[in-house]
Amino acid sequence: MVGYLRLRWSHLTVTCPDTCCDLVYEAEIGDSGWDGCFEDETQRQFHLEKAKEAINSWILENPERK
């Protein structure tokens, strides 16, 4: 495992390499404060692409920790 993505209460976080470590990406999703899902497929694709880029950058910067 090299990345952990969590979307809860309208807050998306991406940490590497697991749940405990470096926060590499975060975003607010939705406007109700209680959302646990993306609003639409476009938003989902956008944030998952950003998460993937953040994880890849972390891997390149921390080869010894993956």
Alpha-carbon gap, residue 23 to 15, rounded angstroms: 4
| Per-residue confidence (pLDDT) for residue 32, from 0 to 100 | 66
| CB neighbourhood size of 36 (10 A) | 12
Instruction: Pull the structure tokens for residue 49.
Output: 């692409």
Global confidence as pTM:
0.85
**pLDDT tens for the 66 residues of the chain, in order:** 789 999 998 899 999 998 888 999 999 987 766 678 888 999 999 999 999 999 999 999 998 876
Alpha-carbon gap, residue 13 to 32, rounded angstroms: 17
Partners of 25 in the β-ladder: 14
